[in-house]
Structure 1
């Protein structure tokens, strides 16, 4: 019996992987413009990092993590998200002492969550995310949101909707938490077991429940915006003002609750309303997490970030019928005819590649007609024809497949001639 790929994972094959590479290049270029630097953290970390960083009450920690015991008896978890690892590295490497503040970082890499696979959602998925650590200025909240929006818009997406909310500071959250407990307690038995457990630990997350979203109490639940203290209210107003200044449209949704415990103040999600995108419309989300660095053993450090799934980004591009400008094909295909020509082609192919050109040749001893067909399939710009008769005259033929022209050149000038034609 053939071994198959694990459920919830995918092979990204040639022809598709080029789209991923293009998106990753766009992300890196965008981060360079915003002065964010790449960080690469381990794919697995000590389980305690995510329990403390993401939160014991979250679905990620309680239901979705890939956790195992290594040979040293340590509990290890494949990273389910990128923020906790990035902040752990920030603390461990004392980046809070760097001269340039805030520290602005980005990452691109695989994450792992054990959840039900569905369109655009896998158990191994790739996230692109950014984290800005060291600034409590609401202007950087707007910057992070702007970067996220530009990532999508730069790829051509137009059916975007930005939702923002404030979760307030600790004082505001405590007041809102008490109001939620009073609101839900009389009827909590009507809710799912998860919500019943959350009532005493993190009642805010009841608002994010997928099972009980239609319960009447959800619509009448106290709004966090009614419990913001003056400081939190002013902060949120400044974020909105900066977004308006940048011309970024948004909708304030008091019901927006991010699924991780470390968020406070600004929270946001970007959604797609493109037809055919699917029932789950969220493309990405993020927010501010001012207490996370301290929770992980570092100094009190404000932070904000966001993450997006490249899988869901590809689905959104498909829903809007956007074709990425992927370059395909090769520059040269070397066709050989005869044993001596085959031997000479090995040298010429190597020289062309050393000169920086993309080159292919035949390795299946095919007839010349089949070699030309192979060059067509590979969308080659030029075919270089080497035969024993040409070798006797120290020349090769270059055929421009687009123009249909053909000429002979001296072998020693081949590299320069081809590079000249390619400009």
Structure 2
């Protein structure tokens, strides 16, 4: 392997994963270029999600606890990473109330088994060396059974447990990260740049090409952090996925400027249900599954399903989310949207597995087989897994790049 003293590094994808990798490289004095297909950074799945800092609670079907360990490790690294780069402005991001895990009467996991699993996850968090770093400003209640009839419909809900898990506001974090990346002299950003082909020369350099009549780019190292295009680009280099996979396109409703209501943040477990995130300032996130799943594909690259949705179709989705969640969380009926900004948007979800979350033995019930894979010493493809895992993946990717540069010299 031969690299120049100042290697040309291309990062495909300007979501949370691509941006955090560029930030970490810059911290070590290494320049990189982010290639993002949208008009701005952090404007796809990294912005339009619930921002949950997972502690493994939703992965109760992974009896090995491997996913829970990975989620605790990733989420406990999340705040320190961004505080290092963004300083005290990270506190302006805001966070939700603590999540209740609400066991639906049709849950794949019964209440007693769910409670036992949650307590095991809690032990992992308590024993983790960096557990104090899990969003320091958030309350940290112990896993506790609560009177589910107080907030939930007992005809549909069998049990509920208060947990320390929270969501952060992904919109605010996206704005901070975007500003940081665009202003850093070692981070070069090319937006409206869709990568369609990638090839590797006999000498080991990479050629990346986009739309017709746009110039090709050449790099010594490439990081593929492109999310829904990742498998297709890997395939062009002869790389085969190790498992079967699913691309799903999930829509959700983001609300700002509504009235503040006494409704808990809640994840309905376990199966094809939904979430309510209450940020406490009149901002909410609502999703319901499978109504919000508008596409599913096992192709190497899925289609952009949201482009086919009309405003009327999105309004219908919002009504469905509200209806389904209100059936379980009656206090949600107090939500007044007359003066609020309500946006229905979505993003791709990638996961190993060939059956959806309502199947008992699907691989979608675990996220331990994710992270960075390196090929040719100079090509790193990153399966982020979950939003909260991006900073930890960034550190690992940067570590591998630094190792390859040292070996080259």
TM-score range, shorter chain: under 0.3
TM-score, L = length of structure 2 = 0.25
